Every structure is written in structure tokens, then in C-alpha cells.
Amino acid sequence: MSYAVFQSGIKQYKVSTGEMFPMEKLDLPVGGEIVFDKVLLAVDEQDQKGQIGTPYINGRKVVCEVVEQKKGPKVLAFKFRPKKHSKQLKGHRQKYTVLKVKTIA
């Protein structure tokens, strides 16, 4: 099983070929393609020996395809102040982009 660890923004993701995973919203159309070139670690399935970057591996990249744009579950934040007749309710739904790994090169 070959896999790679790459960095997007401040977060790091461990993925393998053919895997689908969510990440924070990217402004790309469904069916679009994105290339991540900040690969931190890469392990090939043939030799099971990996390459470790310092901090990145030159020439390695992860190519992904956008599968869908969706929203996560609603999270409610409720703030109540006793004896002040004050309360506050806020809701939030995080937007995600679901990607499918095409190749790790």
C-alpha cells in the first residue's frame, strides 16, 4: 500500500491512491483537479521504503479530483448568563470539499 503525507495550509493529510477524504473548502468546480506539491512523506508499495522530506520532497506530488462540495453537521453554540436575562444562540456549518486521490507521483 503506497501512501503520502502532504500539507495544505496549516493541516497535514495522510492519503493513499483511490482514497476519498474531506478537507476545508477549496474554490474548485466539481470534477476539477488539484495538485499538492508540499509532500512531507511518501512510501511506495513495492519496496515499503519511504522518503522523508526536509521539509518537503522535491519532485513528488499528490494529484486529486474534486468529487463534491458539501456542508458538515450543524454545531450550536449556546451562551447563557444567569440573573442577567441574557442568552445567545449561534449555529455554524463548516463547508468541506471532498477529494479523491488519483495518483501519488
pLDDT over 80 at 47, yes or no: no
| Cα–Cα distance measured from residue 102 to residue 65, given in angstroms and rounded to the nearest whole number | 7
**Overall number of domains in the chain:** 1
User: Is the model's pLDDT at 90 over the cut of 90?
Assistant: yes
DSSP-assigned letters across all residues of 55-96: SS-TT--EEEEEEEEEE---EEEEEEETTTTEEEEEEE--EE
The pLDDT value recorded for residue 43 is 93
pLDDT score of 46: 80
pLDDT mean over 47-71 = 93
> What confidence score (pLDDT) does residue 45 get?
80
Task: Please tell me the predicted confidence (pLDDT) of residue 65.
Answer: 98
Domain span holding position 30: 3-104
Across 16-40, average pLDDT? 96
Q: Cβ-count burial of 26 within 10 angstroms (0-12 exposed, 13-18 middle, 19+ buried)?
A: middle
